[in-house]
Amino acid sequence: MPSDEPQTPKFYLTTPIYYVNARPHIGHAYTTIVADVLARRHRLQGDETFFLTGTDEHGQKIERSAAAAGVPPQQFTDEVSAQFRGLWDRMGLTYDRYIRTTDPAHKQGAQQLFRELYNRGFIYLSTYTGSYCVSDEAFVDLPAGTPCPDCGRTLETVTEENFFFKLSEFQKQLIELIEPRNSGSKPDLDITPDTARNEVLSFLMGSTEVLIAMGPQAFGVETLEGIRQTTLWELAESKDLVRRSREGLPYVVGALRDLSVSRSSFTWGIPVPSDVQEASGTTQNHVIYVWLDALANYMTAIGYGSDDPEKQAELQRYWPADLHLVGKEITRFHCVYWPAFLLAAGLPTPKQITANGWLLFDNAKMSKSRGNVVRTETILDAFGDHVYGKQFPDSTKQERDLFAADVLRYFLLREIPFGQDGSFSFDALVTRYNADLANGYGNLVSRTLKMIATYFDGVVPECSNRLDLADFKPQVLHLSPEEEARRAEEEASYPEPATGVQDDVRNALTYELRQIGYQITQADRYISELQTWKIAKLDNELSRTKLADTLYYAVDSVRYLTGELYPYLPYATARVWSQLGLGDIHEAAKLGKLAKLDENGMTSGTRLNVASLAPIFPRADKGLAQIMIDMEDARNPPSAPASSDPGAAPRTSTSDPVTENATTLTVGGSSAQTPTLPVTPGPHTEAQASGVYAATEIVQPSTPAAAPTEDSPTITIDDFLKVELRVAEILVAERIPKADKLLRLEVDLGTERRQILSGIAQYYSPEELIGRRIVVVSNLAPRKMRGLDSHGMLLAASEGPDGKPILATFGEDIALGSRVR
């Protein structure tokens, strides 16, 4: 029986579950910290909050990492998962449940979801043709007829059964779930920031490029050349190639394809339930596609698939999730696949999905594959031991960790406008710490409390309200002209607030901490302007009252700001709260006192905890940044220095398949202008002469790339330098309908974003390309293919008789736009 009692609002938020193929780094910590801040804010507001995090432990990648480490996958995942959890505990993160996809309850739940989708008719068994090594019983992503990379036997063409999910049936429903409402109300699934929502929408809607690629016949015209974009869409609509969503968004019918949701070429995964396998008549053993397995965690963690009534009640209470926090690279999985699975299973979809940007190090996304990671432990150890430990030699390791965790929390949230990429550097960390925490908040607290200790014996004075100090309230900003100018400058460098629907997450994470910063500056200035130390020297009634009023306002500001800062700096604010004589801040938070900071001012007569007055944020020495750099280097000895420094000594990469049979690639940062090369039909002889050829817009596997021969014509260095090769990152990769060989790529060249069409669709899937750093022939004249502009070519080696392209990549971290020569 539902009760009439109004229920406490609930808030269920999740982080992505982290792959256990690598140790945690501060990129992972970033998302988890953001979740922790939001969880604490919601608890403050009295919401029944549930914060979930955990690890993603299945799939080929993990299986391989375990094999490389020489341990069984379960043991491997046990170890790495424990490292993640141990780190979150060191940092005092307040997750409510830690899920592992190897948990039996999760496996059961994921199987239940798969079964449900199958029983409802949204999963079917189908086949696709691929290359197979019979000896190894393995599918290989190489053309049939070529040697197997493992055993050398010739690959055969076989047909593999696969379970597919009918994603294509959900195109309209998904668009309508997330599209902006003309009424201005929130969509059922609110994707923020706008950039993330637009990216997902355009994926779902299909693009002009997709229409063009259908060719003129589909439109019943001779040619599409010269047709304006709007006309093209209208024409498409008249041919029923384009339809409209409820709010009027046009979408290309069929732009969404079905999705393979099982694999049978490896075993480290959750088996497709045996009843489904039987019912489908499959003869293979399938494991559930790792993303379906992983996404299901958000429900299995709170009881989906369990028979336990308590668990079921929890599921009822918390599902749908109020917020999935995700990195921007995994929005498609969360905003397209996940809601589609849920719609198909007849389950409610999450309410909000918010994408955070990336933490960059040396201008590239911090990630294991790039090797440019910064470990959270380094920051915890350095700040814990060299700053806190130095000030408080008797402190415990736990106190040091929690102190240092606050430093990292503050830095990440203050420095990076939420939703955007942000660069991490040790120098910036130390500078921000000293400026905002040691000199800012920490200094405000200690000077205020010291003055009360000195002039009022540590007791909060009475406030006569005779001074007109109303402006002293931090809630009302009255910045001085210089402060205002600084603030305006800073605001201008931040992105505009999200348009349309109000986004609480973004407000919380982007504006609040900045606002608190201005409030601290203002409070500090008031104390200085009132020249308390001078008033204190005057021995008369008026000056005594003035001093009392000033310090009352000052200490009340400290109380107010401390309450506001609590979700961001839980350890430091707890110390301040205690110094203020207010007891345990965590208790105050639970009692809802921190949600009403305006209502209850500091009570006069409160005795400060004078015995505990000690610096909250001791200053960090300048050398701390170097200490951290050295710590990182010691843990991770640098191999050959990756550099985009033009003066750096050229390095030889011996493991790169491209360089093995080619001239050495050296990496430099020259930005010298080079001419645009005309596109000449036929093979690209300059590059081929060295065994490297550009995977042109269309690779012709039937025309094997020329191997270097004795009589290849030699070229001069000047000839070679005419070809401008640059490092780029693949941002977008997608298939082009009705063009089997072509992929449409968008690449970031550091200074510009380009579209390149590349004939590698038979060899690379779009998913495996995104995020790769590759080499682009950047001064190739643009050309049109299938009506689409292609500007540049990818560099690839050509392997085997069919000329399979292998993209040239880097073993080291490399800045975008670096010149390759």
- Kindly tell me which residue out of 100, 365, 386, 741 binds ligand MSP, with binding defined by CB under 6 A: 365
Q: Degrees (nearest 5) of the Cα angle 275, 278, 283?
A: 140
Map residue 450 onto helix, strand or coil.
helix
Instruction: Evaluate the CA torsion angle 397, 402, 404, 408 in order and state its sign.
Output: positive
Instruction: Report the C-alpha gap between 149 and 140 in whole angstroms.
Output: 8
Q: Which stretch binds ligand MSP (CB under 6 A): 10-18, 172-180, 312-320, 648-656?
A: 10-18
Query: Quick one: which of 318, 358, 410, 411 contacts ligand MSP (CB under 6 A)?
Result: 358
Specify the amino acid at residue 635.
R
339 touches 349 (CB < 8 A): yes
CB 335 to ligand MSP: min, Å: 12
Q: Does 56 bind ligand MSP (CB under 6 A)?
A: yes
State both tokens at 471. 């402006």
Under a CB-based contact definition with an 8 Å cutoff, are residues 111 and 277 in contact? no
Under the binding rule (CB under 6 A), the answer on residue 59 touching ligand MSP is no
Closest CA relative to residue 460, chosen from 339, 345, 582, 368: 582
Window of 35-43, 325-333, 637-645, 724-732 that interacts with ligand MSP by CB under 6 A: 325-333
Cβ neighbourhood burial of 188 (10 Å; 0-12, 13-18, 19+): middle
Judged by CB under 6 A, the stretch of 23-31, 249-257, 308-316, 451-459 that binds ligand MSP is: 23-31
- Please pick, from the candidates 81, 131, 367, 545, the single residue that binds ligand MSP as defined by CB under 6 A: 367
CA separation for the pair 258, 122 (Å, rounded): 10
Token pair 């002293």 in the structure block, residue: 472
Q: Which amino acid, 203?
A: F
Residue closer to ligand MSP, measured from CB, 167 or 366: 366
Task: Using CB atoms within 10 Å of the CB of residue 344, give its burial: 0 to 12 exposed, 13 to 18 middle, 19+ buried.
Answer: buried
Q: Does 350 bind ligand MSP (CB under 6 A)?
A: no
How many other C-beta atoms are found inside a 10 Å radius of the C-beta of residue 753? 13
581 sits in the region (left: phi over 0; alpha: psi -120 to 50; else beta) called left
Using rule CB under 6 A, residue 30 touches ligand MSP: yes
Pick from 27, 54, 384, 458: which binds ligand MSP (CB under 6 A)? Answer: 27
Q: Shortest distance, CB of residue 30 to ligand MSP, whole angstroms?
A: 5
Two tokens, residue 784: 């049109």
With respect to ligand MSP, which residue has the nearer C-beta, 376 or 579? 376
Does 57 interact with ligand MSP (rule: CB under 6 A)?
Answer: no
294 binds ligand MSP (CB under 6 A): yes
Helix (H) or strand (E) holding 191: strand 190-192
Q: How far is the CB of 428 from ligand MSP (least distance, A)?
A: 15
Phi, psi values for residue 722, rounded to 5°: -65, -25
Q: Does 409 bind ligand MSP (CB under 6 A)?
A: no
Q: How many residues lie near ligand MSP (CB under 6 A)?
A: 21
* Residue 677 identity: L
Nearer to ligand MSP, 328 or 575 (CB): 328
Listed in sequence order, the residues at least 6 apart from 543 whose beta carbon sits closer than 8 Å to its beta carbon are 535, 536
726 binds ligand MSP per the rule CB under 6 A: no
How many whole angstroms separate alpha carbon 460 and alpha carbon 553? 10
Least distance (Å) between residue 359 CB and ligand MSP = 4
The verdict on 330 binding ligand MSP (CB under 6 A) reads yes
DSSP annotation of 438 reads I
The CB density around residue 104, as the number of other CB atoms within 10 Å, is 7
Binding window for ligand MSP (CB under 6 A); candidates: 258-266, 363-371, 526-534, 637-645: 363-371
Instruction: Give min distance, CB of 52 to ligand MSP, in A.
Output: 11
Backbone angles phi and psi of 296, in degrees to 5: -60, -20
Tokens 């945690």 -> residue: 24
18 touches ligand MSP by CB under 6 A: yes
Q: Is residue 268 a contact point for ligand MSP (CB under 6 A)?
A: no
Contact region with ligand MSP (CB under 6 A), list: 28-36, 262-270, 496-504, 667-675: 28-36
Select from 353-361, 455-463, 765-773, 805-813 the region that touches ligand MSP (CB under 6 A): 353-361
Nearer to ligand MSP, 56 or 802 (CB): 56
Q: Is 327 in the site for ligand MSP (CB under 6 A)?
A: yes
Q: Which residue lies nearer to ligand MSP by CB, 132 or 418?
A: 418
Smaller CB distance to ligand MSP: residue 41 or 365? 365
The single residue among 13, 80, 359, 582 that binds ligand MSP, judged by CB under 6 A, is: 359
Binding site for ligand MSP (CB under 6 A): 16-19, 27-28, 30-31, 56, 294-295, 297, 326-327, 330, 356, 358-359, 365-367
